Chains A and B, each alone.
Chain A
Amino acid sequence: GEDVEQSLFLSVREGDSSVINCTYTDSSSTYLYWYKQEPGAGLQLLTYIFSNMDMKQDQRLTVLLNKKDKHLSLRIADTQTGDSAIYFCADVLPEFLYDKLTFGKGTLLTVNP
């Protein structure tokens, strides 16, 4: 079945850039998502990219997609302490009745002052 992998931990200093990486296995993925989960909260969609795009920028967030290598990354510029959270990569595969999301294990981003 589909597999989505990401590194488990990332620690950066406030003001630096953070890069979270993700790989997926199914080339049929239509969209790729980045979700953010703050402590004790549910997941919140941060940004997404359509599978035929290479890059998407949204304020401090930049998503890069290398479809050939099935590699996705999320760059957060000028990382702040409020960015500390778990970030999940997920790919979307259309199923018969719904769009199936397969999540990675999540990357815990720690931002040190």
Chain B
Amino acid sequence: NAGVTQTPKFRVLKTGQSMTLLCAQDMNHEYMYWYRQDPGMGLRLIHYSVGEGTTAKGEVPDGYNVSRLKKQNFLLGLESAAPSQTSVYFCASSYLPLAGGPPYEQYFGPGTRLTVT
């Protein structure tokens, strides 16, 4: 199993350009997440999905859109990139949590380093 993979690994954008980050998982996980990691800060949740065809906003959703057309893929889009979106982006996936049960481990991809100039 490849686990969680992310494409691309690095990208440099100019302000105003658009791009899509792709996350793929082969563990048949229902849940998928997009986080950003900034220097000296913990990870912050951008958007998440609880299943194919569903998405929801996380802690810092502004400036991003997401889509989950297939269960194994979760796309993160930047329509008009801004320097404030320079960050490392991590995708994660997990099984569906059971009500009242322990949370399932989130498995993380290796990250995409994005620089917006």
Contact = CB atoms under 8 A, between A and B. Distances in A.
B62 interface: no
A109 B109 CA distance: 22
Interface string B11-51: 00000000000000000000100000000111111001010
Majority secondary structure of chain B interface residues (helix, strand, loop or mixed): loop
B42 A103 contact: yes
A63 to B, nearest CB: 15
A62 B60 CA distance: 33
B110 A41 contact: yes
Contact of A97 (B43, B50, B90, B110): B50
B13 to A, nearest CB: 20
Given A40-B110, A42-B4, A42-B90, A100 B102 contact: no
A30 interface: yes
Contacts, number: 52
B97 A44 contact: no
B50 A92 contact: no
Contact of B90 (A43, A45, A94, A102): A43
Given A42-B90, A98-B31, A103 B43 contact: yes
Nearest to B90: A42
B69 interface: no
Contact of A31 (B4, B103, B108): B103
B102 A98 contact: no
Contacts of A31: 102-103
A105 B56 CA distance: 24
Interface of B: 4, 31, 40-45, 48, 50, 56, 90, 92, 97, 102-103, 105-106, 108-111
Interface of A: 4, 8, 30-31, 40-45, 50, 88, 90, 92, 94, 97-106
Top 9 A-B pairs, shortest CB-CB distance: A103-B42, A42-B108, A99-B103, A43-B108, A103-B43, A42-B110, A45-B105, A104-B42, A92-B103
